[in-house]
Structure 1
Amino acid sequence: MSSTISRPLAQGRHEISIEGTRQVFHVAGTGPVCLVHSGGPGIAWEYLRVPALEEHLTMVYLEPIGTGSSGRLDDSRDYRIDTYARFVHGVVEHLGAPKVFLLGHSHGGFVVQRYALDHPDRVAGAILYSTSPVTGEEFWADAMANIGRFPQRLPHRPAAAEIPAAFQRALAAQDDEAYTTSLREILPLYFGDYWANEQELEPLRAALSAWIDPMRGEEPAPFDVRDRLRSLDVPTLIISGVHDFFGGTRWARLAHEIITGSRLKVLENSGHMGHLEQPREFVGAILEFARA
């Protein structure tokens, strides 16, 4: 593995200032550094913690700006992917590692792609997890169609019939409390079959918290780095679940076709949360990639 640092990172919570804004991150584990950017935007980082990776890697979990204990930006229009990427760079600089692995989930995957394109010399490897190289009208139409079909995919789960309407309520949430409540309500949508592991997942659901991103994930133009990714010279692992409502593996396969030399790991029994549904396969793919 690469991505070494000259001194071990202190475990636990850290707080630094980037561009005058508080940036919080959490360190756990030992080994090469892997910086983790959660999704949403606005979902608390804890759902993405992977203790099995901490046995082999120094996992650095960000609390993205505007989320959790990290600071809020003065101008709500600044919650853009390039801004999140600048804060990632601030943390990378603070850590002092010549190169780091980056793991980005969902919206965090957009951030990791942008960072890897802007700072390829600082990236030992990019792990694009349940994400896409492009958004826009077709991307969202695909997602909404899959949400509408969710009850038909799980006809033996009566509660699945409630998810499409609950998703619309989540879109209409006007404050953090309403958004968190709605997110907990629609959490099964993010899994291949949440109810198959409901007993183990219910504590996560109860503890889940989120903050409304003032930009609601919107940019001045849809995210699209397809052309730039064709020249990306960074080792890349792409992980995707077959039942991900964000297009299944469609967008992951597109990224795999575009990024020269990339690896693709398909999780056959997972949705958007493969690290919870197929943890052994998820961890194994990342460790094999890091060792290579």
Structure 2
Amino acid sequence: MPDLERRMTMVYVEPVGTGASGRLADPRDYTIATYCHFLHAVIRHLGHDKVALLGHSHGGFVAQRYALDHLGHLSALVLYDTSPVTGDDFWAAAVAALQDFARLHAPERPGVTSFVGELTTRPEVDDDDGATAILRKIAPAYFHDYWGREADFAPGREALRMYAAPAWGQEPPFDVRGELPGVTVPTLVVAGADDFICGPHWARMIRERIPNGQLAVLERTGHLGHIERPEEFAALVRDFLVG
């Protein structure tokens, strides 16, 4: 997020099991609690009394849980394209939205009809290349208009990497709806209007439960507003955090 780097210090976390971070011995241990444990270690290592925490998508689940467990370490919270709950209803809504996407684009791009199956396929625990291939294939669904701006987005699509082992974590469905009133730090909730998986419905659910929160919806934007509309996204976050 280079636009934000110009005004503040950004620390990007590669969660355990991804990027250059290490791997867990047992893939079943990739849980929200595990990610919070390592995130807390990073924040303590930074040596600041408080930080502003931005969590995107699954990172938003971790950020919510972290805020609930370690509120005293936060000055502010940004929850971006995420949800306070997963489970059957959450996934059914995502599948239905992706089916709508496929119906819209199938006449010109028949390959999109396989996107739903790819989304719900769990890769083999050690098959990073296979997981990456799936993510790159279905990546257009995460944008408002991928093909209309393919020249802008294609290089990033080819650079995407996915790590398979974290998909094997075993834990109950995520649900912090009843706890969110305990998040009392200033909170910005951001969602892309056309995000098929963590759109405005889930963002409003968070906003309604956090007493000191505000909601921003980016129009004509999918799951990756910081890429599709970087200036608008950066302005939202920058104005919220530093004015």
Q: Which has the higher strand share?
A: 1
Asked whether the equivalents of residues 102 and 115 of structure 2 are also in contact (C-alpha less than 8 Å), the reply is: no
Write the mapping of 1:212-223 to structure 2, written as runs, cut at 5 A.
212-216=164-168, 219-223=170-174
User: Counterpart of 2:108?
Assistant: 158
Match of 1:251 in 2: 202
Contact preservation (8 Å) 1:150, 1:164: no
3-state DSSP of counterpart to 1:148: helix
Is the contact between residue 84 and residue 177 of structure 2 (CA under 8 Å) also seen in structure 1? yes
How far the C-alpha of 1:193 sits from its partner, in A, is: 0.9
For these two proteins, the number of residue pairs brought into alignment is 240
CA distance in 2 between counterparts of 1:97 and 1:247 reads 31
Unaligned runs of 5+ in 1: 1-49
List per-residue Cα deviations over 1:201-223 (Å, max 9, x = no partner). 1110111111113444x542110
Unaligned runs of 5+ in 2: none
Deviation at 1:74, TM superposition (A): 1.4
Q: Tell me if the contact between 1:146 and 1:247 (Cα under 8 Å) persists in the aligned partners.
A: no
Q: What CA distance in whole angstroms lies between the structure 2 residues aligned with 1:247 and 1:71?
A: 28
Amino acid at match of 1:279: P
Alignment equivalent of 1:205, drawn from 153, 157, 160: 157
State whether structure 2 residue 53 is matched by structure 1 residue 102.
yes
Out of 93, 99, 104, which is 1:148 matched to?
A: 99
Structure 2: distance between partners of 1:105 and 1:258: 18
Shift of 1:154: 4.4
- Verify the 8 A CA contact 1:191 1:277 in the aligned structure 2: yes
DSSP-derived class of the 1:125 partner: strand
Match of 1:173 in 2: 123
Structure 1 residue 244 displacement after superposition: 0.6
Percentage of identical aligned residues: 47
- List aligned pairs for 1:44-193, cutoff 5 A: 50-154=1-105, 158-159=108-109, 161-169=110-118, 171-174=121-124, 175-193=127-145
- 2:235 pairs with 1:260: no
3-state SS, counterpart of residue 103 of structure 1: strand
CA contact (8 A) 2:76 2:187 kept: yes
Once the two structures are superposed, residues 102-149 of structure 1 have per-residue CA deviations (whole angstroms, 9 ceiling, x without a partner) of: 111100000000111111111111110000011111000000001111
Once superposed, which parts of structure 1, at least 4 consecutive aligned residues long, lie more than 6 Å away? none
TM-score (norm 1): 0.78
Give the residue type in structure 2 aligned to 1:259: I
SS of the residue aligned with 1:66? coil
RCO greater where, 1 or 2, for CA within 8 Å and sep 6 or more? Answer: 2
Structure 1: which amino acid aligns with 2:215?
A: L
Q: Give the CA RMSD over aligned residues.
A: 1.6
Cα deviation for residue 163 of structure 1 reads 2.3
Structure with greater helix share of residues? 2
